Amino acid sequence: MNVNHNTEKDRLNFWEKLYLPEIARGLGLTLRQMFKKPMTRQYPEERWEPTGSYRGRPVLVLEEDGERCVACSLCSRVCPALAIEVQAAETTKEKERYPVKFEINMLRCIYCGFCEEVCPEEAIVMSKDYELIFTNQEDAILGKDKLLIPIAQLQDRLEFLRRFK
Amino acid sequence: MPQITIDGQRIETSAGKTIIEAALDNGIDIPHFCWHPGLSVSGNCRMCLVNTGFPRKSADGSLERDENGGNVINWGPKLAIACATPVADGMVIDTQGQRTEHAQNAIMEFLLINHPLDCPICDEAGECKLQEYAFLHSKGQSRYNEKKNHKDKRVELGPNVMFDGERCISCSRCIRFADEVAKQPVLTFVQRGDHVTIETFPGTTFDSPYSMNVNDICPVGALTSMDFRFASRVWEMSFTDSICPGCSRGCNIKVGVRNNEILRLEPRTNMHVNEYWMCDNARLTQYKFVNENRISSPMIRKGNTLVSASWQEATSQAADLLKKFKPSEIMVVGSARATNEDNYLLAKFAHNTIKTNNIDFLRHIDNSFSDNSLRTNDRTPNAHGAVEVGVKHEQPSGVSMSNLAERIKQRSIKALYVMDGDIAANSSLTDALDDLDCLIVHATNHNSTTERAHVVLASTTYAELEGTFTNLNKRVQYVQPAVATQDHERIEGMQMSRWDKFGAPNDRWARGERRNCRQNWEIVQDIANMLGAGWHYTNSENVFKDISNHVSAFSGMSYDLLQEFQGLTLGKAGSPEPKGVVYQSNYMKPN
Ligand code: SF4
Ligand code: SF4
Ligand code: SF4
Ligand code: SF4
Ligand code: FES
């Protein structure tokens, strides 16, 4: 019969078939790592602080007199994942409109940053927040209460955008 | 018949037409702001400049030829505005060449000098002519480094019209509309040059019953609807062709929907009915009842209260109740708010199934509503159709609406089967309804009739059904669903916005309420079949086919033809009026 033999058994040489020397080699590798500086960190006690270029969850910029967002829905239109829903309403402020509802569905968001790029008001920016844990689908839809972040906390990103956008 | 050539295309047109009209008749769109086919020509925006000329003739009168054998054209010394230049035989028009393009670009640059860059907060964005042309006919660069002019923003010209001076491009469409169509000449330009703006004359306000049409025809976002302001971006909505149910004119409209909720209505061109317009009253009222206070499932009476029931329970309850009465004790009431299909099956139900000739319908007449423009005194869309398909008082033995109250009091009518959910609105009937042994009502909204009913059958509004209405001029017009119900999801054939297409169950923006309501004729069919009728209509088109086969006035009509010609007149399906050019001011509106 014309059978092409290529089983594991066929590929191994005698020493490899014995296994024991290989086990010793593996143990040796492990032993060597023990004396090296660890690559991992003790998360969550030890946290990584991303730089301004990091694209964590998108958030809304909150200034002293309220949000910058004018509810133009451009972020919602450009979002490739349809993660953003905005409902506008009228204000007496100069810019006429504000979002009564602003929701980002974090199960849809793919952290592309398009929303930040399109925003005419620099009102939505990518934050450093990467810790997104939800136990049900409803919780993953973040409203204005969770999205609005004081501008002071977003300085790194705003600085990054000023320099590189 | 003058022959002209536009962009190399030879066109036969009629004398007296302007270039822009001749072009539009042949599907060529010349950029324009101030021109509107429903208004006089003012020729002030200059966006429609085109290069015109005539073939050069030699001394002997023959046409000169260039080396390729084509005509040599004597181009005019200056460009001409297409909206005010009449066509002449032999005229050659160039709408795309370098000279025209240069002029268009210059006009766009000029118009944008003082235009604020506030598209993000402007309601017109997405359906704005200035945006469209900036995209198509402008270099996208400004050489203007000086300060932009500031003008008043948020000025209320009338109760429904908000004006933003900075966005106005001074096309005067609104002024001409107020003068010529609304016949309320209260708008005017004040100041000159770049200070020019629109005002109402002192002591006046623009409150004509047609005022909101200026929000549509304003080519920019200078005029916006106070009812709709900021409710939604247009690209998030779906727009479905429909017919206004507000009065018997049957204006052609578009229904703007987002998340299964109607946010606005706007007119749709039909030169045989409403031209380009609709009335403010309809815009403000004819969508609210679809969104609010709805009967969202069938109900049956248990003791003193109405409780939700399944369709099976409700229809069999209705059938059982009807069985208890003699045919002559039952009165069937059709509805001028329901479609021809609904009324046709109801009439068939009364005559063939219940076997009574007590059938009629209630007219909703409001003389204060009519005017000599579009609005009529009949506040229902289909009174003509109801009569035509057989819902009418049967002389002499049948009971009519006028003696119904009396017959109920005399106890000769004990049961009422009503398709018009609003008959208690007629004060003479309100008390009489309490004396009935059985009241079965098809209804869309909670009201004083449904409070008294024994069985309430949740029916669809005009925005949720497929069918036809017949207007006061006997024009049969097609209506299709714009809003989804539990009976029909947003599937093929329905207009869908981006949100509708991609929504999933965990998206809050895809959860708009789906009501458990059904078309009137479907409900009638179920009950009729329980009483042994044996009907097998599967969709509205089936019923309509039956109508066109059995009711002579409808013969030759079909849904396809109704859509193709935007309506057909009763008895004249064989000789339809041509639809003509359907002008839409903003043609790039996303859907
Ligand atoms: S980051 Fe991308 S996917 Fe996430 S909300 Fe913004 S545009 Fe949408
Ligand atoms: S693009 Fe910016 S201003 Fe517009 S709705 Fe989004 S966050 Fe608000
Ligand atoms: S308000 Fe609109 S319609 Fe009126 S002149 Fe200005 S741009 Fe034209
Ligand atoms: S005139 Fe009648 S049909 Fe036309 S929009 Fe007004 S209410 Fe509707
Ligand atoms: S459209 Fe011709 S000048 Fe405005």
> In degrees rounded to 5, what are phi and psi of residue A99?
-85, 120
Contact A73 B499 (CB under 8 A): no
Supply the pLDDT for residue B591: 60
Supply the pLDDT for residue B1: 83
DSSP secondary structure letters along A44-85: TTS-----TT---SEEEEEETTEE------HHHHH-TT--EE
Supply the pLDDT for residue B389: 96
Contact A107 B121 (CB under 8 A): no
Helix (H) or strand (E) holding B461: none
What's chain B's average pLDDT? 94
The verdict on the CB of residue B200 being under 6 Å from ligand 3 is: no
DSSP secondary structure letters along B125-140: TTS-HHHHHHHHH--S
Residues 6+ apart with CB under 8 A from A102: A60, A69, A71, A84, A85, A86, A87, A143, A144, A147
Give the orientation angle of helix B340-348 with respect to helix B520-530, to 10 degrees.
20
Retrieve residue B19's tokens. 């270039």
The verdict on the CB of residue B222 being under 6 Å from ligand 3 is: yes
Retrieve residue B126's tokens. 């997405």
Which atom of ligand 1 lies nearest, measured to the CA of A126? 1
Q: Which residue of A has its CA nearest to B154?
A: A96
Q: Going by CA atoms, what residue is nearest to atom 3 of ligand 2?
A: A69
B120: which chain A residues are within 8 Å (Cβ-Cβ)? 70, 72, 74, 120-121
Supply the pLDDT for residue B13: 95
Contact A82 B230 (CB under 8 A): no
Classify strands B92-94 and B80-81 as parallel, antiparallel or unpaired.
unpaired
B499: which chain A residues are within 8 Å (Cβ-Cβ)? 82
User: What is the average per-residue pLDDT within B430-446?
Assistant: 93
Contact B154 A105 (CB under 8 A): no
What are the tens digits of pLDDT across the range B54-106?
999 888 888 888 888 788 899 999 999 999 999 999 999 999 999 999 999 99
Contact A97 B230 (CB under 8 A): yes
A93: which chain B residues are within 8 Å (Cβ-Cβ)? none
Helix (H) or strand (E) holding B351: none
What separation in Å is there between the alpha carbon of B49 and the centre of ligand 5?
Answer: 8
CA angle B358, B458, B407 (to 5 degrees): 25
Give the orientation angle of helix B311-323 with respect to helix B520-530, to 10 degrees.
60
Testing the interface with B: which of A67, A77, A93, A124 to mutate, by most B Cβ within 10 A? A77
Nearest by CB to B506, from A90, A120, A137: name it. A137
* Identity of residue B480: Q
* Distance in Å, alpha carbon of A134 to nearest chain B alpha carbon: 14
Supply the pLDDT for residue B492: 67
Q: Does B507 touch chain A (CB under 8 A)?
A: yes
Supply the pLDDT for residue B489: 83
Q: How many Å apart are CA A88 and CA B232, to the nearest integer?
A: 7
Retrieve residue B557's tokens. 């009509």
Q: How far is CA B299 from CA B10, B296, B307, B318, in A?
A: 64, 9, 5, 11
* Distance in Å, alpha carbon of A24 to nearest chain B alpha carbon: 53
What are the tens digits of pLDDT across the range B571-588?
999 999 999 888 888 777
**Cβ atoms within 10 Å of A162's Cβ, excluding its own:** 10
Retrieve residue B556's tokens. 């030759």
Testing the interface with B: which of A96, A119, A137 to mutate, by most B Cβ within 10 A? A96
Give the orientation angle of helix B340-348 with respect to helix B540-550, to 10 degrees.
70
| Long-range contacts, B180-188 (Cβ 8 Å, 24+) | B180/B39, B180/B40, B181/B38, B181/B39, B181/B210, B181/B213, B181/B277, B182/B206, B182/B208, B182/B209, B182/B210, B182/B211, B182/B213, B183/B208, B184/B208, B184/B211, B187/B157
pTM, two decimals, is 0.92
- B455 pLDDT more than 80: yes
Q: How many Å apart are CA A120 and CA A111, to the nearest integer?
A: 19
Which atom of ligand 5 lies nearest, measured to the CA of B171? 4
Q: How far is CA B568 from CA A6, B75, B246, B576, in A?
A: 78, 46, 20, 6
- A17 pLDDT more than 70: yes
The verdict on the CB of residue A160 being under 6 Å from ligand 1 is: no
| The CATH number of domain A58-164 is 3.30.1360.70 | no
Q: How many Å apart are CA B33 and CA B46, to the nearest integer?
A: 8
The verdict on the CB of residue B244 being under 6 Å from ligand 4 is: yes
Q: How far is CA B461 from CA A99, A147, B294, B525, in A?
A: 31, 39, 10, 18
Q: Write a three-state SS string for B383-437.
A: HHHHHHCCCCCCCCCCCCHHHHHHHHHCCCCCEEEECCCCHHHCHHHHHHHHCCC
B324-340 as b/e: b if 16+ CB within 10 A: ebeebbbbbbbbbbbbb
Retrieve residue B560's tokens. 């396809």
Retrieve residue B106's tokens. 């210059």
Q: How many Å apart are CA B53 and CA B78, to the nearest integer?
A: 10
Retrieve residue B162's tokens. 């908000």
Retrieve residue B389's tokens. 């398909």
Q: Does B154 touch chain A (CB under 8 A)?
A: yes
* Closest to B414 measured CA to CA, from B321, B350, B352, B527: B321
CA angle B138, B140, B143 (to 5 degrees): 105
* Distance in Å, alpha carbon of B589 to nearest chain A alpha carbon: 14
Q: How many Å apart are CA B293 and CA B422, to the nearest integer?
A: 14
For the purposes of burial, counting CB atoms within 10 Å of the CB of B374, is it exposed (0-12), middle (13-18) or buried (19 or more)?
buried
Q: Residue B142: pLDDT band by 50, 70, 90 thresholds?
A: confident
Supply the pLDDT for residue A115: 97
Nearest by CB to B120, from A74, A89, A108: name it. A74
What separation in Å is there between the alpha carbon of B488 and the centre of ligand 4?
Answer: 27
User: What is the average per-residue pLDDT within B232-252?
Assistant: 96
Q: What is the ipTM of this complex?
A: 0.90
- B479 pLDDT more than 90: yes
Start-end of H helices in B286-398: 288-291, 311-323, 340-348, 383-388
Q: Does B501 touch chain A (CB under 8 A)?
A: no
Q: Going by CA atoms, what residue is nearest to atom 8 of ligand 3?
A: B171
- Percent over 70 (pLDDT), chain B: 99
A96: which chain B residues are within 8 Å (Cβ-Cβ)? 121, 153-154, 230
Contact A82 B502 (CB under 8 A): yes
What are the tens digits of pLDDT across the range A70-126?
999 999 999 999 999 999 999 998 889 999 999 999 999 999 999 999 999 999 999
For the purposes of burial, counting CB atoms within 10 Å of the CB of B492, is it exposed (0-12), middle (13-18) or buried (19 or more)?
exposed
The verdict on the CB of residue B245 being under 6 Å from ligand 4 is: no
Q: How many Å apart are CA B32 and CA B109, to the nearest integer?
A: 15
User: What is the average per-residue pLDDT within A58-66?
Assistant: 95
Supply the pLDDT for residue A1: 60
**Cβ atoms within 10 Å of B226's Cβ, excluding its own:** 16
What are the tens digits of pLDDT across the range B391-405?
998 888 889 999 999
Q: How many Å apart are CA A76 and CA B301, to the nearest integer?
A: 46
User: What is the average per-residue pLDDT within B466-477?
Assistant: 97
Residue boundaries of the structural domains of chain A? 7-35, 58-164
Contact B499 A96 (CB under 8 A): no
Please provide the size of chain B in residues: 591
B333: β partners: B360, B418
- Lowest model confidence (mean pLDDT) among B33-42, B219-228, B273-282, B483-492: B483-492
What separation in Å is there between the alpha carbon of A110 and the centre of ligand 1?
Answer: 6
User: What is the average per-residue pLDDT within A54-79?
Assistant: 96
Q: Which ligand is nearest to the CA of A83?
A: 1
- B472 pLDDT more than 90: yes
What are the tens digits of pLDDT across the range B518-556?
999 999 999 999 999 999 999 999 999 999 999 999 999
What separation in Å is there between the alpha carbon of A75 and the centre of ligand 1?
Answer: 8
Which atom of ligand 2 lies nearest, measured to the CA of A70? 3
The verdict on the CB of residue A62 being under 6 Å from ligand 1 is: no
